């Protein structure tokens, strides 16, 4: 029998352990490797439990919103009730309207010009040419001819008569006793004759010529000048306080007498006639906006320009977006100081011009250069959108305060929906089956979904009907939506 030593014991344990393991594997008895496998399986199970708990939201208070799916934007908004307004906004310029040149027809040298900003009214001078005033009158017709009583030229009548022509007699007979006698009678329409007797056998003859005479007829009566321009001038003459004539379409001697009094007050020669260069017409009082000539220059061209005395707004609107600019439509104008005033569309230009960054440089009908057979090419507007000029006036000039010019914002309301449910347009989701829906961010819409299955969509979406779009928001409606409902904006 062997002695059991510590070494043998250790060695025996190793052998026994090896045999036990081999026996365990062969007989299916768990050993150390079995226990290791069980430990690894328990660890995997524990990790799976933690992941499941985290996914169900049972552990901690994560920062994500409830129901948020991985990769989904977490922004949530509420359905609110508000008033939506669809309106056009466009920039404009406050001023006195477009500049208009005076059609000055006076010939001569400019001897006086008004200062820019001066207001000129009926009867006042716009400028002086050869130290003669060019006067402003009100009207729509231009001054295209001289006005005055027509004085026809005197008629001259010439009368001519012819006397009898006689044969001159001669005789070859005896010269003795021959004699010649004659008598002359001169007068208007008279006959001058010469009578001669020659010899015994001679013949007698008479030769006569008729002289001509001139008669001057009495001068014809002056004839009045007729026309609507006459009536327009006489209306102004009466408005200036001159009378003694009838305001009609006839320029008579009575009109000429009143004109002489007017000319005397202006320091002009009393001719009773009004030259084409003596007056200019405008629709009313004007504000001098500038001069293109200086004192001493010739009065040709357009030396003086004017604008309206009333303040107005001018807008260069896109030619394809002028539905709002109907004449008579009311608009809201925000002034540079921030307060709003009400204006009225007064006019819309009938022609478009190419837009340019420098202001009013777009020329109507600018021709392209370098174009092909189709007439294309680069136009004067540099490819920018065409615009039309819109003028907005104000009935209450005092509402504009003391501001004379500056940038403004013009607003025109197209549509308005009051007290409706709205969400940001970005919250709408296009549904596969058509239409739009909202993704619910909580259970605020589940009750509506259950009660109105026809208006709901599978998942967490609810179908809606859209209305007015304005200002980045949209009007929504439907049985399943209500104020305060939380919806998610898709990422």
CATH number at residue 477: 2.40.420
Q: How confident is the model over 33-57, as pLDDT tens digits?
A: 433 433 334 343 333 333 333 333 3
- Number of other CB atoms surrounding residue 431 within 10 Å: 13
With contact defined as beta carbons under 8 Å apart, do 120 and 136 qualify? yes
User: Do 423 and 294 fall within a single domain?
Assistant: no
Whether 230 shows a pLDDT value over 70: the answer reads yes
Last residue of a domain, one of 281, 307, 333: 307
Last residue of a domain, one of 256, 279, 307: 307
Instruction: Give me the count of residues in the chain.
Output: 491
The rounded distance, in Å, linking the Cα atoms of 436 and 3 is 94
Does residue 332 lie within any of the structural domains?
Answer: no
pLDDT-wise least confident of 13-22, 66-75, 394-403: 13-22
Q: How many structural domains does the chain have? A: 2
Structural domain for 484, as ranges:
76-86+416-488
Whether 66 shows a pLDDT value over 60: the answer reads no
Does residue 315 lie within any of the structural domains?
Answer: no
Last residue of a domain, one of 255, 281, 307: 307
- What residues contact 248, with CB distance under 8 A and at least 6 apart? 230, 231, 234
Under the banding of pLDDT at 50, 70 and 90, the label for residue 163 is: very low
Q: Exposed/middle/buried for 129, CB within 10 Å: 0-12, 13-18, 19+? A: buried
Predicted local distance difference test score (pLDDT) of residue 119: 96
Q: How confident is the model over 363-389, as pLDDT tens digits?
A: 333 333 444 444 444 444 445 678 999
User: Do 435 and 459 fall within a single domain?
Assistant: yes
Name the residue with higher pLDDT: 64 or 131.
Answer: 131
Predicted local distance difference test score (pLDDT) of residue 153: 58
* Closest alpha carbon to 168 in 203, 123, 127, 129: 203
Predicted local distance difference test score (pLDDT) of residue 491: 75
Structure tokens belonging to residue 467: 């209305």
Average pLDDT of the chain is: 73
Does residue 341 lie within any of the structural domains?
Answer: no
pLDDT-wise least confident of 47-61, 122-136, 466-480: 47-61
pLDDT-wise least confident of 152-161, 175-184, 478-487: 175-184
Does residue 239 lie within any of the structural domains?
Answer: yes
User: Do 82 and 107 fall within a single domain?
Assistant: no
The rounded distance, in Å, linking the Cα atoms of 289 and 405 is 13
Does residue 106 lie within any of the structural domains?
Answer: yes
Predicted local distance difference test score (pLDDT) of residue 444: 52
Helix locations, 28-88, DSSP H: 32-56
The whole-model pTM stands at: 0.55
Average pLDDT over residues 125-132: 97
User: Do 116 and 82 fall within a single domain?
Assistant: no
User: Do 420 and 479 fall within a single domain?
Assistant: yes
Name the residue with higher pLDDT: 373 or 247.
Answer: 247
Under the banding of pLDDT at 50, 70 and 90, the label for residue 350 is: confident
Predicted local distance difference test score (pLDDT) of residue 74: 57
With contact defined as beta carbons under 8 Å apart, do 195 and 206 qualify? yes
Beta partners for 466? 476
User: Do 296 and 443 fall within a single domain?
Assistant: no
Q: How confident is the model over 262-288, as pLDDT tens digits?
A: 999 999 999 999 999 999 999 999 999
Does residue 157 lie within any of the structural domains?
Answer: no
User: Do 302 and 420 fall within a single domain?
Assistant: no
Whether 408 shows a pLDDT value over 60: the answer reads yes
Does residue 298 lie within any of the structural domains?
Answer: yes
Beta partners for 39? none
Predicted local distance difference test score (pLDDT) of residue 216: 54
């Amino acid at each position: 029998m062997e002695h059991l030593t510590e070494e043998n014991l250790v060695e025996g344990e190793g052998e026994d352990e090896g045999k036990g393991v081999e026996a365990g594997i062969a007989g299916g008895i768990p050993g150390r490797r079995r226990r290791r496998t069980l430990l690894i399986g328990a660890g995997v199970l524990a990790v799976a439990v933690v992941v499941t708990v985290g996914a169900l939201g049972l552990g901690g208070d994560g920062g994500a919103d409830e129901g948020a799916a991985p990769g989904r934007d977490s922004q949530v908004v509420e359905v609110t009730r508000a008033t939506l307004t669809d309106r056009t906004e466009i920039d404009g310029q406050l001023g006195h309207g477009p500049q208009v040149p005076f059609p000055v027809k006076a010939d001569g040298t400019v001897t006086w010009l008004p200062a820019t900003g001066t207001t000129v009214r009926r009867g006042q001078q716009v400028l002086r040419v050869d130290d003669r005033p060019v006067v402003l009158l009100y009207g729509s017709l231009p001054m295209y001819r001289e006005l005055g009583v027509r004085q026809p030229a005197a008629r001259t009548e010439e009368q001519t008569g012819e006397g009898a022509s006689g044969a001159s007699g001669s005789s070859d007979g005896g010269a003795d006793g021959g004699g010649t006698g004659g008598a002359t009678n001169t007068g208007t329409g008279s006959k001058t004759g010469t009578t001669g007797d020659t010899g015994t056998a001679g013949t007698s003859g008479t030769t006569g010529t008729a002289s001509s005479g001139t008669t001057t007829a009495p001068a014809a009566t002056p004839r009045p000048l007729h026309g609507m321009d006459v009536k327009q001038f006489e209306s102004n003459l009466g408005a200036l306080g001159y009378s003694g004539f009838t305001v009609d379409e006839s320029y008579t001697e009575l009109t000429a007498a009143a004109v002489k009094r007017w000319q005397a007050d202006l320091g002009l020669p009393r001719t009773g006639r009004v030259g084409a260069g003596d007056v200019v017409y405008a629709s009313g009082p004007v504000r001098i906006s500038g001069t293109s000539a200086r004192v001493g220059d010739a009065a040709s061209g357009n030396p003086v320009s004017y604008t309206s005395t009333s303040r107005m707004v001018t807008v260069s609107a896109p030619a394809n977006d002028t539905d709002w600019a109907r004449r008579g439509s009311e608009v809201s104008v925000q002034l540079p100081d921030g307060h709003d005033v009400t204006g009225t569309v007064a006019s819309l230009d009938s022609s478009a011009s190419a837009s340019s960054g420098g202001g009013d440089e777009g020329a109507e009908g600018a021709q392209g250069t370098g174009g092909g057979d189709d007439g294309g090419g680069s136009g004067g507007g540099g490819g920018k959108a065409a615009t039309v000029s819109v003028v907005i006036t104000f009935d209450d000039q005092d509402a504009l305060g003391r501001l004379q010019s500056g940038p403004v914002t013009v607003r025109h309301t197209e549509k308005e929906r009051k007290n409706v449910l709205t969400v940001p347009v970005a919250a709408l989701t296009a549904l596969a089956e058509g239409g739009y829906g909202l993704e619910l961010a909580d259970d605020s819409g589940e009750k509506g979904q259950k009660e109105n299955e026809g208006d709901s969509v599978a998942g967490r979406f609810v179908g809606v009907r859209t209305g007015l779009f304005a200002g980045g928001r949209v009007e929504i409606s439907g049985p399943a939506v209500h104020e305060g409902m939380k919806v998610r904006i898709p990422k």
